[in-house]
Structures are given as structure tokens and as C-alpha cells.
Amino acid sequence: MAPPPRLARLRDWLLDLLYPPHCLGCGAGGAWLCHACLSSVARLDDPQVVSVHVGERTWLLPVYSVSLHQGLARRAVHALKYEGKRVLAEPMAAEMVGCLGSTAAKVDWVIPVPLHRSRQRERGFNQAELLARGLTAHLRLPLVGDCLVRVRDTSPQVGLSVAERKGNMEGAFRAHARMREQALLLVDDVCTTGATIAACAAAAAAAGGVPVAAVTFTRAGPGMDI
């Protein structure tokens, strides 16, 4: 579980004091992702659309992403997720806000895609929750991380086909009825086929929530297996 925002800011301030930030892209001091490097990242204009199925009902959910999963954007995701560079979450979240546009005004709650408790215990944090916390600071919306849980520890999605990814996610999430009638923004680090986000949206909708969109830092492009 991520620390409260005030403690997180204190922790990051102390880390910056002990280990001054250097850009992940160019190594220049002053920021973990400098303006020049962020400006070089190719932005995506349109969201990916994923199908969500709940009973006999099907609808399309837009998934906004900053960039394709390549270059500096890919390095940032890997550094956050696998190297524990949590300080990257805030500048990454700031870029994710920019790709939401007017959709942000339709949202009531921000919901991070959850990890299974065993996976989170192993990693020590949930990267989607860190990104969601950064988003809420910019959007001034509540982060509600306890209404959607992963009840099954799914196999890694890497190398699975689209159909296998979808099957792997079926029944993996459960949502609380407290989210009923709340307009929800789902948050994750990467969108590959959209199977994970679709499963989260389906669980939320089954509990009465209203998923309006999802946002990730990167998404897979043609031929990418991530």
C-alpha cells in the first residue's frame, strides 16, 4: 500500500536531497524526466477502444495513453515498475493528465488497476496506484483504491494471445457496491490488448459503477508483445 500523500511527499523530498534527480533520458540534473526529453516523446492523438462485456451488455471503453511502449516512455515504465523508481510516478502522471482532455471533467473517482496481494507484497507497491495518486493531485479528484480488488493471482500476460489474455483475466477482479453510480477513471501503467482494463471495467459495472475511460502511460503498438 502506498503511503499517505504527505508522507510520500516527505519521502520524495528526502530522496531528492540525498540523491538529486537526473533525467532518465539524458542524464541532466534537475528532474527525473526533463522537459526536453518529454518533448521528444511521440504523443498519441486517439484513444484505444476496448470492448467490455457484462452479462448480455457490451460497450466500448476509451483507453487514453501518452505514447507507444517504446523509447523513453518504455524505459520510464520499466524503471518505475521493475527498478522501484517511484519518483517517476508524479511526472508520468502529469503527462497522463494531458492526454485525457475533456474526459477528466466527467470523472467522479480515480481507480487504480489492483495487483493481487501476493504480487504487491513481493513488489512492495502497486505502480498503477502511484500513477493514480499523481493523477488525483492534478485533477483534484478522490483516489478510491479499496473498491476494486484482484481476487485471483493471474499468470503473466506476456506471450499470451489476445484470446488467452482475455481468458486469463476472467473473474480476476471484484468490485464493491460502494462505487454504484460513480463515474470511474481506471488507471494502469501499460495497455497491451486491453484485457486487464476490460476485466476491471466489467467488474466495476457489475457492481453498479460507471467506467467512463481508462488512462495508461504507454500502450502497445502493432507487433509489440509486452
pLDDT tens profile 31-48:
999 999 999 999 999 999
Q: Which residues contact 203 (CB under 8 A, 6 or more apart)?
A: 148, 173, 174, 175
Q: How far apart are CA 212 and CA 108, in angstroms?
A: 10
Q: How far apart are CA 58 and CA 80, in angstroms?
A: 34
Letter string b/e over residues 14-47, b meaning 16 or more CB atoms within 10 A of that residue's CB: eeeeeeebebbbeeeeebbbbeebbeebeebeeb
Give residue 49's pLDDT: 96
* Radius of gyration for the alpha carbons in the chain, expressed in angstroms and rounded: 17
CATH number assigned to the domain comprising residue 167: 3.40.50
Taking residues 160-170, what's their average pLDDT? 67
**Residue 144 maps to a domain:** yes
**Residue 22 maps to a domain:** no
Render pLDDT for 171-197 as a digit per residue (tens, 0 to 9).
889 999 999 999 999 999 999 999 999
Give residue 18's pLDDT: 60
**pLDDT surpassing 90 at residue 159:** no
Taking residues 6-17, what's their average pLDDT? 59
Taking residues 141-146, what's their average pLDDT? 94
Sign of CA dihedral 73, 50, 53, 135: positive
Q: How far apart are CA 33 and CA 26, in angstroms?
A: 9
Q: How far apart are CA 191 and CA 188, in angstroms?
A: 7
Domain that holds residue 90: 42-219
pTM recorded for the entire structure:
0.87
Domains identified in the chain, total number? 1
**Residue 13 maps to a domain:** no
